[in-house]
Amino acid sequence: MSHASTAVTLAVALSLLAGAATPVSGLGAASAGHEQTADRSLVADRVGAPPYDGSDTTAREQTDDASGSFPEGNVSVTRGDEVTISVSHSAAANVTIGGPEYGFHLTVELGGGGTDEIVLDTRRTTAADPSAFVDGGSATLHTPPLDEPLEPEDYLLRVDVAGVERDIATLTVEPRGAVTAESHRAPGSFAPSEYVGGGEDDDANVGPLQSTTTAGSTVARGDYAVMRIEESGLETALNASDLTGSAAANGLKVNFTQTDPGPNHEPREYVATDSANVTVLPNLANDEFYVLWNTSGVPIESRNGRNRYRAALTLTEESGLSDGSATAASTTFELERQSVSLSPATDSVHYPWENDSFAVTGSTNRAPNTELEVRLRSSDPNAFLELADATVREDGSFGAAFDLSALTRGTNATLWVRGHFPETTQEVRLVAPDPTVRIENQTVSGTSVGVASVEVPAGGFVRLTDASGESVGRSDYLAPGRHANVSAELGTALFEDQQLRAELVRPGEDESYDPGAAAYSTAGYLVNDTAHVAFPPAPTETSTPTRTATATATPSATPYPVVTRTPLDPVGATQSSLPLSPGVAVAALLGAAALLARRGGSP
């Protein structure tokens, strides 16, 4: 056989094989005949497309231009939640979810072209009518209804346009995660009804609640016990208007139950949405919801153990997510009577030289962020009522301040927290300016005199005067306020015991001492005090005693070299200006004669 014959034979064989093969994707050329028509009819039935009409040419032209896809690719959902599947298609399309091998076979017919969304509620897949759990398109369920919500699995997604498969993806149904609960508290002034339905997709506006609530299980009666639940797979089951566990509540129940009612007593129970005392604020976009229990109407018993409540989320059989009644999450709360304490930050007596701001502090078991009103009231002739707001901090403390600059002094005022008068009321004294000085009897050993105490409203000096009114000393500048053990320096030394008077005088410019400055007075009387001050006696001048000569042994002469000097010749006249008396002259002459006679008798 020649090479050409061999090539022809091979080409014919390949052509025959190609003509006999069945196209997998439906894009290959179709073979004629009744058998091919029957195969197309089966495919059409499988995907929900119209049966094949035998027009091969028209079908091929349409499929060449058709398109379909899942723009977001694979999608996932938690069992019990709903999922949105986006489908883009150029013409009428059929979307298949699952199949017979999954025990769940659903097709959804989409008309026209464009991008559509199919919303599948995995919790409601137990319904016989697929329209109960599918939103978007025309759904057909090809398998019996499920006994339980769609189970976790990877389900095939397929889109067909004009009977041809155009794209596939995966729908992953994940198991439900753990449901957790936390204890929080919120101020009794919070109004949950104002925030219902204020968020997206019927969620509540939980922002204001999140900004005011704090973690904690101890709740003062009148505040809100807030149960925060982090959910998984409950977003379509949650009926914010009914959480009683009934069919209308989709089998979800939230209640607050007394844990220890005592013997022969039924526990008190407060069920969510069963009364106005419990409100639900869903935030399912973030897989959470809040249950707020208003405790203002809850009795407080004397035994603390009977004021403990268990808050629980229960899934009943109606939910389809539990075989029976099962607690999904729980937490506890301890209720207490409200308590508030209040006191001035420093002292209940306020002096004029102190800061004009009068600060008070307190503590309470009220919920953090609670707004309290502190009041200061006087009914004296110059009556006043001052109000100050205080916000409870997370540790239970609070503080406020009053501006006293414009208030009349010399009066008493009542201080308390509004709504808590019995436990917070107390008296505050607003002292009027009252200058005083006190000096005590003393003995001074130096140059300063001690002043026991001084109270000076506007600053000044202590001036010391003697009995004649002369100033003998003063202190350094004293700032407004109270002072103790003030030292006043004497201007001159004093040596006699005497009465000294201490006066208060006002300062001059720039807090300097001004001898002519006015003195403080009260009711027309000079502010002063007197005391007996003893000084040491003045030192006495004494003559220096004459020393008596005492005979002492003549010390041995130290042999020093002797220098002989030639005496000067006497001058003719004496240098003395004093004349000799006659007696002295006669004695001198007699002495000279005797000396000459002695010299004459010598050999």
CA atoms within 13 A on the CB side of 556: 2
Which tens digits make up the pLDDT trace of 449-463? 999 999 998 899 999
Single-letter amino acid code for the residue at 19:
G
pLDDT the model gives residue 33: 35
In the predicted model, is pLDDT for residue 233 greater than 50? Answer: yes
Q: What is the mean pLDDT of the chain?
A: 83
Per-residue model confidence (pLDDT) at position 234: 93
How would DSSP label each residue in 466-481? -TTS-EEEEE--B-SE
Q: Which of 52-61, 92-101, 419-428, 528-537 has the lowest mean pLDDT?
A: 52-61
Whether residue 395 is contained in a domain is answered as yes
Residue 275 has pLDDT above 80, yes or no: no
**Residue finishing a domain among 130, 147, 174:** 174
Query: Do residues 69 and 114 share a domain?
Result: yes
pLDDT class of 2 with cuts at 50, 70, 90: very low
316 plus 424 within the same structural domain:
no
Question: Is pLDDT above 60 for 28?
Answer: no
Residue 263 has phi, psi (to 5 degrees) of -65, 140
Domain boundary among 484, 507, 534: 534
Give the Å distances, CA to CA, from 143 to 77, 106, 139, 160, 524.
21, 8, 12, 20, 109
pTM exceeds 0.75: no
- Answer yes or no: do 75 and 109 share one domain: yes
pLDDT in tens, 107-149: 999 999 999 999 999 999 999 999 999 999 999 999 999 999 9
Higher-pLDDT residue of 320 and 206 is 206
Quote the percentage of the chain above a pLDDT of 90: 66
Q: Pick the range with the lowest mean pLDDT from 141-145, 405-409, 469-473.
A: 405-409
Cβ neighbours of residue 502 under 8 Å, at least 6 residues apart? 437, 438, 439, 451, 462, 463, 464, 488, 528, 529, 530, 531
pLDDT higher than 70, residue 7 = no
Domain boundaries, position 502 = 436-534
pLDDT digits (tens, 9 = 90+) for 50-60: 444 444 555 55
Query: Based on the domain organization, do 364 and 505 belong to the same domain?
Result: no
Co-location of 440 and 400 in the same domain: no
Q: Tell me how far apart the alpha carbons of residues 39 and 163 are, in angstroms, rounded to a whole number.
A: 12
Q: Are residues 198 and 261 in the same domain?
A: yes
Model pLDDT, residue 585:
45
Pairing of strands 525-526, 82-89: unpaired
Mean pLDDT, range 141-167, rounded to an integer: 96
What is the identity of the amino acid at 426? Answer: Q
CATH label of the domain that carries residue 489: 2.60.40.10
Instruction: Assess if residue 548 is contained within a domain.
Output: no
Please state the φ and ψ torsions of residue 304, each to the nearest 5 degrees. -60, -35
- 279 burial via Cβ count (<10 Å: 0-12, 13-18, 19+): buried
Per-residue pLDDT tens over the stretch 295-315: 999 999 998 789 999 999 999
CA 298 to mean position of chain CA atoms: 30
Q: Is the pLDDT reported for residue 582 higher than 50? A: no
pLDDT of residue 488: 96
pLDDT at 339: 97
Q: Which CA distances in Å does 601 have to 112, 595, 598?
A: 188, 10, 5
Q: How many domains does the chain have?
A: 4
The proportion of the chain whose per-residue pLDDT surpasses 70, expressed as a percent, equals 79
Kindly state whether residue 355 falls inside one of the protein's structural domains: yes
Instruction: Give 557-581 pLDDT, tens digit per residue.
Output: 333 333 333 333 433 333 333 344 4
Taking residues 95-116, report their average pLDDT. Answer: 97
- If you average pLDDT over residues 242-263, what whole number do you get? 94
Question: Residue 29 above 80 pLDDT?
Answer: no
Does one domain contain both 208 and 325? yes
**Quick check: 348 and 354 in contact, CB under 8 A?**
no
Instruction: Give a yes or no: residue 20 inside a domain.
Output: no
In this structure, which amino acid lies at residue 11? Answer: A
Q: What is the pLDDT of residue 82?
A: 95
Binning pLDDT at 50, 70 and 90, where does residue 200 land?
Answer: confident
Residue 338, pLDDT > 60, answer yes
Is residue 400 assigned to a domain? yes
* DSSP output for 387-407: EEEEE--TTSEEEEEEE-TTS
Span 500-512, mean pLDDT? Answer: 94
Phi and psi torsions of 581, nearest 5°: -75, 160
User: Tell me, what CATH number does 131's domain have?
Assistant: 2.60.40
Residue 351: band (very low, low, confident or very high) from pLDDT cuts 50, 70, 90: confident
Both 195 and 332 in a single domain?
yes
Does residue 185 sit within a domain? Answer: yes
Query: How many of the other CB atoms lie within 10 Å of CB of 557?
Result: 6
Whether 244 and 217 share a structural domain: yes
Q: What is the pLDDT of residue 5?
A: 40
Q: Of the candidates 313, 336, 359, which is a domain's last residue?
A: 336
Domain assignment present for residue 231? The answer is: yes
Residues 211 and 279 in one domain: yes
Nearest to 505 by CA among 515, 497, 496, 493: 515
List CB contacts of 565: < 8 A, sequence separation 6 or more: none
Q: Is pLDDT above 90 for 278?
A: yes
Residues 527 and 500 in one domain: yes
Q: Is the pLDDT of residue 446 over 90?
A: no
Same domain, 405 and 473: no
pLDDT confidence bin for 45, thresholds 50/70/90 = very low
Residue 70 inside a domain? The answer is yes
